[in-house]
Amino acid sequence: MPTIMPLSDLRNYNTVLEHVTDERPVVLTKNGRGRYAVVDISAFERLNAELKLVSALVEGEASAARDGWVSSRDAKRRFGVR
């Protein structure tokens, strides 16, 4: 669950940053609605890696649906795995 703070709290940004952890981002609100998120860099990098993985999986499924599946035996032979 994120910590929710008003955008005006950025005037003292150290206070906002003290609330950011790897597990808990800070959501900054403007006019009572979520507007920005401040996340720890390791959480940001993890989210980007997960997004790339999911994108690759979606691309692989689309390729399989379009071109057909490859058996594990054929894949091992193609990539030289025993």
Query: Rounded to an integer, what distance in angstroms lies between the CA atom of residue 79 and that of residue 58?
Result: 21
Q: pLDDT tens for residues 10-66? A: 898 899 999 999 899 999 999 999 999 999 999 999 999 999 999 999 999 999 999
- Is residue 56 in a domain? no
Domain count, the chain: 1
Residue 33 lies in a domain: yes
- Residues with Cβ within 8 Å of residue 73, at least 6 apart in sequence: none
Is 49 a domain residue?
A: no
At residue 2, the pLDDT reads: 87
The answer to the question of residue 68 being in a domain is no
Q: Which domain holds residue 31?
A: 3-39
Domain-located, residue 28: yes
Residue 64 within any structural domain of the chain = no
pLDDT at residue 50 in the model: 98
Checking if the pLDDT of 70 tops 90, the result is no
The pLDDT of residue 18: 93
> Does residue 1 surpass a pLDDT of 90?
no
Q: Is the pLDDT assigned to residue 82 strictly greater than 90?
A: no
